[in-house]
Structure 1
Amino acid sequence: MGYSEVPTPPPLQASMINTFFNIARHRKPGEPDLASWDYTGSQCNEPGVDELDDLEECARNGCVVAVKYPKGDDDDPVKDPDYVSEEDSNDDPYENDSGRDSSDAMSVDDDDDDDDEGSTAATDPYWDFLSSTLDPQSRFDGEPVGNFGYSNTNTCGRTETILPITGDQTPGGHDPEELEHIPGPNCTEARAYSGNRISLEEMRGCRTAQFLVHKSSAKGEWKPDGLHEPWETSQDWFLSGVCDGMESRDSGFPSVWPARGGVESVQTDNINFDEEWTSPNEVAMPFHPWCFDIFCRQSKAQFKHVNVSGLMKWRNAEFSWDDFHSFPRVGEVSSAQEQFWRHDPGSEYLTANPLYVPCLPSLLAAAGENSIHRSLDVSRTREQGGRANLESLPLDIRLLIVGLLDSADITSLRIASTAFTNLPNSLWYQLVRDEMPWLWEAWEDGEIEHTPSPWTVMTANEIKLLLEERKHYSNILAKESMPVNGMLDYLLPNPSARPDTRLPRRNTNWHQVYVQIKQNWDRLKGLRNRQRIWEDVEEVMRRIKKYEQE
């Protein structure tokens, strides 16, 4: 994959939320090889120990090394999870697939003690997630393919040799070229995000790109295809298929799956570099499906419909280099925007899935199970030294005081005075709504009718694999003179949307919701990214309104 020479254009990014698609990741000890990939999406175990400048710094950062698969094991489907037989072909996607045939192809050492996770493979949901993941890397670059409804793969059981780095000498007397560097919790490597800091599950979908394409670019007349969103039938733009990662500008247009509207490759950019000769409608708008979902939610709230025409009117009005760089963005995004995305430690949340956040469902469910203090004993007063304290104030006065404070001051007041310990549940609900407008789990039923798009459920490689397998089984069923469509939909269903979780307003402990989110903020990386995207989309909404009023 080539990249333009100086002056270097900015990397192609998601237009609405200013993040990159070509995200890289390094695995942590015990994770399979497929949990590591470089910015191109290629599975890799770089950098090797021979490329490291300072082993002593690695020792201080808690880095370790793994012994790479020894020479001679390249044709062993157990020891080499990338092995594909020379006789293998796409005609049989399961033949010699290490993720489907070998229980050792993707596993962790049974004796591996992962203090960071704090649990074993048998009980940790993250390892359950990994164990239900296929390894299609022999055919696809980029994110690994997970269990999406019809795969019962279980590939635990892998063992590997992990050695600590203790000084400036190569561990274990191995040749440096035989060792894979695995970043520790404090590693400062910026070429990829560390698996010690963000899980594969949290990053799910970080490389998936989709595009808004003008219907004039469709091959023939655009028609609904069963995958269409309701708004697509009435507006001038439609959603393309998806792809994993993004080609650089000098490497051609990205190919997408499926070829919706007959469009197999998409002309796309954040910037119109040739305004004189290129109509803005010829250039598709790139984004992550999860970001477009958040746009749809806000659009329904503010415009009562998915205002794609307004979105593209803004994009076309601010389509220059200067416009792109003048859009406000958080500091981590600005510092990461180089020719290659800088994977700075601490910025991992930028790549976390904002829709499906591990740990959040259980945290919210616990708040619905606990008892709620629905009443206050407002008659109780205390006298100290002949002077009534704050408990003597009527409830309405106390609530008036609380209404003038922010959440931090309310917390301090609750600590300072027992009169403010048991505040009404409704007050905490309002705090959640005011300070966390992006927590749609707290929205009331009927407030905004929205179901996440099926495009948010699967990664690009999962969709691509699904299409290949549907084609494969379609050919088999046709040869057997069996009904194809109904059987395919039964065996290999298209992705379906997942309805949002809704917390019942009256039966939820909103104080617990508020406190638990605040206390677990660093763990809830997807929720933190949701807040960032939400605020970016709020700015987009302001600009849409500006151009629609002109």
Structure 2
Amino acid sequence: MGNKLSYCERRCRICAVSFRVKRIPTPEERDAQRWHARDAAPHNAALQALQRNDGAGYDGSLISEEEMKGINTLRCLLQKPADFVPEEGDQDFERDSSCFLTDVAVHQGPYVYDSGPFNTVRHGVREAKITNDNDNFGGEWGMPFHPACFEIFKRVCLKKLGFVDIDGLWRVRDLRGSFEYSMGGNFPPLSVRQYALDDETWHHKPGTEYLAANPVDIPGFQELLKHLSDSENTSKEQSRQIPSQPHTTITSSESDIFSTLPPELLTEILWNLSAKDIANLRLASRSFRTLPPILFKHLIRTEMPYFWEIDELDPRGTDWAELYTLLRRDWSSSLLGLRNRVRIWHEAEEIAEMIRETNSGLTH
């Protein structure tokens, strides 16, 4: 018997969001679509769809179509059959596992068990049955997820486990996808998963638009990073980004125990501290008034590992201090994909931890 996720619309097994989230076009977009549909054919399907729109969806003025790109696409994990033969193009993590990946498909939902046809056939699979339930249906049923969510899962696995464990992901689905497990309260009530269990359909609650934003392909984010990596924008004084608190006396050089240490040791100390500890240290010692610019890249890596794009930036021209400050902003109302990425990264970390425990023979 499956949990409620198996009875409602198909959802990503990593982020718990439906594949059939909708968006209501703005009045301007609807007018443009209507005129385009009329010009194409007076009674075509596009115009009829506009006329019978039931109003269910996110307000198009709060999230763009570009931001929602990929929300209705999926990939699946499938169990390898007994006669499975490796193919060219198989990824390393598929070769030694009991599962394999399908290509991408557009889900036809909302309650359809079919994945929809995949863009390309992999291992003879053109489309599959999908379920959010555990493996009671049998190995021929696929476990669905958004392609973008799987990319985040892979990155988290490499960071937390050292390899991409798709067998572990399958086991976690079997564990979380059971009625007894979910109803027994054995896993943390993650906010979106609890939201997904509220009812059988996605309700497009105001304020949750970011849940439908693509967490990998984020409009405007690459342009923002490019601007900050422009050498003309590089700041000469980068230590300002972790300021000392006002009205605090900093230790004089005579009593500063750090003043006799060489720069290499001072840097080593900084590399083992959090941003909060560094700020406190700067209150106590003048030796840390000026911080090496590369320290801020280190802080991004350790505190915000979900911003992997920093590895693609020009290390000589990037204002790491300004970038660190920028990435610590509240993304509640802008760049919705970044806010969703942070959420999904933490979801994937929860899954990776469960995989680690199941690999150790523990139950969760």
> By the TM > 0.5 criterion, same fold?
yes
Rounded to whole Å, the distance in 1 between the matches of 2:142 and 2:6 is 21
Counting only pairs closer than 5 Å after superposition, residues 455-494 of structure 1 correspond to structure 2 as none
Deviation at 1:238, TM superposition (A): 1.5
Aligned partner letter, 1:284:
G
Moved over 6 A (4+): 177-181, 397-405, 418-421
Rounded to whole Å, the distance in 1 between the matches of 2:19 and 2:32 is 18
Counting only pairs closer than 5 Å after superposition, residues 480-519 of structure 1 correspond to structure 2 as 502-519=312-329
Q: Do the aligned residues in 1 keep the contact of 2:238 with 2:321 (CA within 8 Å)?
A: no
Equivalent position of 2:23 in the other structure: 25
Rounded to whole Å, the distance in 2 between the matches of 1:302 and 1:34 is 48
Aligned partner letter, 1:354:
P
- The Cα offsets for residues 31-81 of structure 1, whole Å up to 9 and x where unpaired, read as 25798xxxxxxxxxxxxxxxxxxxxxxxxxxxxxxxx66xxx976428x6x
**The residue matched to 1:241 in structure 2 has which SS?**
coil
Aligned partner letter, 1:315:
R
Matched, 1:209 2:83: no
**The residue matched to 1:537 in structure 2 has which SS?**
helix
Deviation at 1:513, TM superposition (A): 0.8
Deviation at 1:432, TM superposition (A): 1.6
Rounded to whole Å, the distance in 2 between the matches of 1:430 and 1:267 is 44
Counting only pairs closer than 5 Å after superposition, residues 101-116 of structure 1 correspond to structure 2 as none
- The Cα offsets for residues 114-173 of structure 1, whole Å up to 9 and x where unpaired, read as xxxxxxxxxxxxxxxxxxxxxxx69xx9xxxxxxxxxxxxxxxxxxxxxxxxxxxxxxxx
Aligned partner letter, 1:194:
D
Counting only pairs closer than 5 Å after superposition, residues 360-509 of structure 1 correspond to structure 2 as 360-369=221-230, 370-373=233-236, 389-390=249-250, 392=252, 396=258, 406-407=275-276, 410=279, 423-443=291-311, 502-509=312-319
Aligned partner letter, 1:334:
Q
Equivalent position of 2:244 in the other structure: none
Rounded to whole Å, the distance in 2 between the matches of 1:7 and 1:200 is 26
Equivalent position of 1:305 in the other structure: 163
Counting only pairs closer than 5 Å after superposition, residues 147-546 of structure 1 correspond to structure 2 as 191-216=56-81, 221-224=84-87, 226=89, 228-247=90-109, 251-257=112-118, 258-272=120-134, 275=136, 278-279=137-138, 281-324=139-182, 326=185, 327-328=187-188, 330-337=190-197, 338-369=199-230, 370-373=233-236, 389-390=249-250, 392=252, 396=258, 406-407=275-276, 410=279, 423-443=291-311, 502-519=312-329, 521=331, 522-546=333-357
Deviation at 1:547, TM superposition (A): 1.0
Q: Do the aligned residues in 2 keep the contact of 1:26 with 1:193 (CA within 8 Å)?
A: yes
**The residue matched to 1:260 in structure 2 has which SS?**
coil
**Change over 3 Å in CA distance of 1:402–1:260 after alignment to 2:** closer
Normalised TM-score (structure 2): 0.74
Rounded to whole Å, the distance in 2 between the matches of 1:256 and 1:238 is 17
- The structure whose RCO (Cα within 8 Å, separation 6+) is larger is 2
**Change over 3 Å in CA distance of 1:19–1:389 after alignment to 2:** same
Deviation at 1:300, TM superposition (A): 2.2
Rounded to whole Å, the distance in 2 between the matches of 1:525 and 1:199 is 10
**Change over 3 Å in CA distance of 1:25–1:408 after alignment to 2:** farther
Deviation at 1:430, TM superposition (A): 2.9
**The residue matched to 1:212 in structure 2 has which SS?**
strand
Q: Do the aligned residues in 1 keep the contact of 2:24 with 2:58 (CA within 8 Å)?
A: yes
Aligned partner letter, 2:218:
V
Aligned partner letter, 2:172:
W
Q: Do the aligned residues in 1 keep the contact of 2:97 with 2:166 (CA within 8 Å)?
A: yes
Deviation at 1:543, TM superposition (A): 0.9
Deviation at 1:295, TM superposition (A): 1.4
Q: Which has the larger radius of gyration?
A: 1
What is the root-mean-square deviation in Å for CA atoms of aligned residues? 4.2
Write 1 or 2 for the structure with the bigger share of helix: 2
Identity among equivalent pairs (%) = 28
Q: Do the aligned residues in 1 keep the contact of 2:99 with 2:166 (CA within 8 Å)?
A: yes
Rounded to whole Å, the distance in 2 between the matches of 1:298 and 1:286 is 18
Equivalent position of 2:262 in the other structure: none
Aligned partner letter, 2:166:
V
Q: Do the aligned residues in 2 keep the contact of 1:268 with 1:285 (CA within 8 Å)?
A: yes
Counting only pairs closer than 5 Å after superposition, residues 63-82 of structure 1 correspond to structure 2 as 76-77=39-40
Counting only pairs closer than 5 Å after superposition, residues 76-155 of structure 1 correspond to structure 2 as 76-77=39-40, 83=44
Rounded to whole Å, the distance in 2 between the matches of 1:332 and 1:407 is 30
**Change over 3 Å in CA distance of 1:301–1:8 after alignment to 2:** closer
**The residue matched to 2:305 in structure 1 has which SS?**
coil
Number of residue equivalences: 332
Deviation at 1:431, TM superposition (A): 2.5
Show structure 1 runs of 5+ residues with no match.
1-5, 36-67, 85-136, 142-176, 182-188, 377-386, 444-501
**The residue matched to 2:226 in structure 1 has which SS?**
helix
- The Cα offsets for residues 208-227 of structure 1, whole Å up to 9 and x where unpaired, read as 0110011218xx6444255x
Matched, 1:16 2:14: yes
Show structure 2 runs of 5+ residues with no match.
240-246, 260-265
Q: Do the aligned residues in 2 keep the contact of 1:76 with 1:83 (CA within 8 Å)?
A: no
Q: Do the aligned residues in 1 keep the contact of 2:114 with 2:129 (CA within 8 Å)?
A: yes
Deviation at 1:22, TM superposition (A): 1.1
